Structures are given as C-alpha cells and as structure tokens.
C-alpha cells in the first residue's frame, strides 16, 4: 500500500481546494489523506480524514496531522470565514477512495454512488468480487427483480464509496488494527473505530 497512491475518489469545489492545500503536508508527515468534508456543523466544520499507510489512526496521529497542516492552512487560507477544524480517522465504515481500499475490503458490504448512470442507475449496494486496473465487479445485495445480480463499474465512474457497518466488518477491522499495531511493536488493545482518532479546534478568519 503506497503512501503516494493517488485517490480515485476526490472532492469538488471548496473541499477540493482544501485538499490541494493539505495533501502534500499530510504525506510529508507520513500519513495519507482519505477525505475532506465541509459541513454546516457549529457554523462551519472542515473535517479532514487521514490515516497511516497501514490504515490505522490514533488520537496522537490526528494531533500530528493537525500540527502538520495548520501552517499551510494559515498561509493558503482556503476558507474565507471562521471554521472548526476536525482531524479524524476514517472509522470502521470508512470511505473507500483508493484502488487499494477496494482491494483490501473486497468481500465486505459497501454502498457506492456513481457520477454517471451505470445500467440505468447511480446507487449500488453489494460486495466487490473483483478489482482490475479499470473496473470493479460488484455482486449486488438484493437487486430488484429483473436486474442483474452483478455489475461492472469503471473506477472513474465512482463518485463515492463507503463500507456498511456489519459484524463481519467490525471483526475484520479490529483484527487488521491489532495486526498493524503488533507489526509496529505497539500495544494491541486499541481499536480503530470512528472515535479511534479525532481532534478538533476553532480557526478564526
């Protein structure tokens, strides 16, 4: 899993502008950008999801990312109003933004939205059964009557994809997190979940 592997799912508009400002700093600090999400929470919240190359993320990691991106945000000033900055882990029901994400989590239930019509629809739910350089094959979860059970979706058609929280996914995520911590010689009692890593701070304009 390469730190410099490009994302196939990227932001648009102001979120893309923020991503362009912080992504290099995140990578220089030894992490990978997962997603930028801007919401109206607390006036305005800029959420930056990041992770280590092995997919884990702790509160300390979030603090390290926050320290790395604060100077570049101060200089570039991509948001023209006061906002709350939140740096967090992807969580267990994580977004899938790189080809390696799709390969790693193949076989687990996911929701996917395309940026154009595929077989007359844009929303799909199912499990990835194959990943190629250009497409994924999705085995659909309860397709409507008369619809194909599987569909081929080009990678460049994926607008958003994220895992669906299931018992199997939770078990697999905890196992993967434990293995990653063991490889790094860290305690194995941590859990990589939605609250595994998150730091927040207000940024006046």
Span 38-87, pLDDT tens digits: 999 889 999 999 999 988 999 999 999 999 999 999 999 999 999 999 99
- The CATH class for the domain spanning 99-163 reads mainly beta
**Per-residue pLDDT reduced to its tens digit, 13-22:** 999 999 999 9
Q: What average pLDDT score do residues 185-195 get?
A: 56
pLDDT interval class at 188 (50, 70, 90): low
Buried b (16+ CB within 10 A) or exposed e, 87-113: bbbbbbbbbbbbbbbbebbbebbbbbe
144 versus 126: the higher-pLDDT residue is: 126
| pTM across the whole model | 0.88
3-state secondary structure of 177: helix
- Kindly list the domain boundaries of the chain, sorted by start residue: 13-92+192-203, 99-163
| Superfamily designation of domain 13-92+192-203 | RimP-like superfamily, N-terminal (3.30.300.70)
Torsion of CA 88, 98, 73, 199, to 10 degrees: 0
- Of 42-46, 61-65, 93-97, 182-186, least confident by mean pLDDT is 182-186
């Amino acid at each position: 899993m390469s730190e410099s592997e490009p994302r196939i799912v990227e932001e648009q508009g102001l979120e893309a502008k923020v991503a362009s400002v912080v992504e290099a700093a995140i990578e220089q600090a030894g992490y990978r950008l997962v997603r930028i999400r801007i919401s109206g929470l607390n006036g305005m919240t800029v959420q930056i999801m990041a992770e280590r190359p092995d997919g884990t993320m702790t509160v300390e990691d979030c603090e390290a990312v926050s320290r790395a991106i604060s100077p570049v945000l101060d200089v570039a000033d991509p948001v023209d109003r006061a906002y709350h900055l939140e740096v967090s882990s992807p969580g267990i029901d994580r977004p899938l933004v790189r080809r390696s994400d799709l390969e790693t989590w193949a076989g687990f239930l996911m929701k996917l939205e395309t940026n154009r019509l595929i077989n007359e629809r844009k929303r799909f739910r199912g499990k990835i059964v194959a990943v190629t350089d250009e497409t994924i094959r999705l085995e659909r979860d309860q397709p409507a009557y008369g619809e194909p059970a599987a569909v081929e979706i080009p990678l460049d058609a994926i607008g958003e994809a994220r895992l669906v929280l299931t018992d199997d996914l939770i078990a697999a995520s905890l196992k993967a997190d434990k293995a990653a911590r063991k490889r790094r010689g860290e305690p194995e009692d941590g859990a990589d979940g939605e609250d595994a890593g998150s730091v927040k701070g207000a940024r006046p304009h």
